[in-house]
Structure 1
Amino acid sequence: MSEEPSTKPGSTLGDREREGVIELLGVIAYGAISGFTRLAADSELSKDLGLKTALAGMAVDEFAKHELLVTHIRELGGDPMEAMTPFVPAFDSFHARTAPRGLLEGLVKAYIGDGIANDFFREISAFVDDESRAIIAQAAGDGRRTEVIVDAVRRQIRADRHLAGPLALWGRRLVGEALSQGQLVAGERDALAELILGTSHSRPGAGLEEMGAIMQRLTDAHQQRMARLGLSA
């Protein structure tokens, strides 16, 4: 009697490719739990009930994304804590270097910083299997609640035009730090680097030309977000 093909998630992945996918999921899962704690803290700072509620809802969304990623890591045979742990120092260092000095900077960081991180993860997901790509796309969605952040920041700038310059500088700093951190994280784990370069599986990887195109798309998306906030990129 012939054996039925396996339908277990990741059953078609080789060991090295599975390791790389689990590392990528670990990066995003830790990013999601970090986002949860930061958005919850921002919600506590807000005196505007509508904004407080929206930020709390975004925090809940981040935790749900974290659980989605953790579940898929387990389905692939990985340990979520082991998958996330190598990336804790890099993320914590990034957040320490970009600690906001108040709620307004926190809102810009949530919109700009998290936005470019999600864009980066969606771009990198092009080099993974279809099922993992779908999970990452769901976890990297910005959601509609970000409109509340955009409205809040624009209101503050309309009320005090002197805020626009410092906030624009803050946004530029965030994108520079985020892009540098993304490249560092992608290259510091061998299996993850091999996944992106396409050396651990049969799918095409990202060559130098493609990585350049990815960085340009990330920059373009950042400029659009800055413009929506009413800031110069």
Structure 2
Amino acid sequence: MKTNSNSYTIIYSAILVLIVAFLLAFVSKSLERKQNANIALDKKKQILYSLNIRNITNEKAEAQYKKVVEADEIIDENNKVLSPGAVGGENDGFTLNSADQKSGKLALFLCRVNGKRKYVIPLYGMGLWGPISGYISLNEDKATVYGVYFNHESETAGLGAEIKDNQSWQEKFQGKKIFKTESAKSISLSVNKKVEDATTQVDAVTGATLTSNGVTDMLHSCLEKYMVFLNDK
């Protein structure tokens, strides 16, 4: 075959594409297990961060998660247990995502920190430029915030990204109430430019009003799915 012919160029290009595609697929498959392990580890660390367990190595995070998480339950909006989960669970509530939450399958992490019961609930919402997410941990009363951790995909560095990067801002949620009163029918916990109720409100991130509003909407929309659970004292 003539090397300067059109048919040679087409065949050569096709073979090259097939070889490259095969190599990429092989590398992707080879790294899949490690990638999944890293994703799972990051998720465990976020759950631990919401429980105020931070600044730990990957190895210690794995051990702490197994020690602290007593079950990764799946419940529905009527507080019916769909799956009991397991100690250090990774196969039940741990595997759920935002689509599962929307469909009514709710992840609930039953944890114990320093001998005291804590509940961790995953959060999903929208910021200014894309999805935001996180975890909120509640004390045994199911009404007081023990800790939070927020994450994002594309918020502006130094502004909206502060919901993830600013630990001191996340710490402002500690001790806040999620209801105004014990008989409240909706979530009151919010992020505001002007704090009028120090028991349920946190200062907005400076210069990131829309992202802060997104955090409030996320807290309300997600926690309200757990209302039956939260009111079951």
If the length of structure 2 is used for normalisation, what is the TM-score? Answer: 0.31
Say which structure is richer in helix.
1
If the length of structure 1 is used for normalisation, what is the TM-score? Answer: 0.31
Say which structure is richer in strand.
2
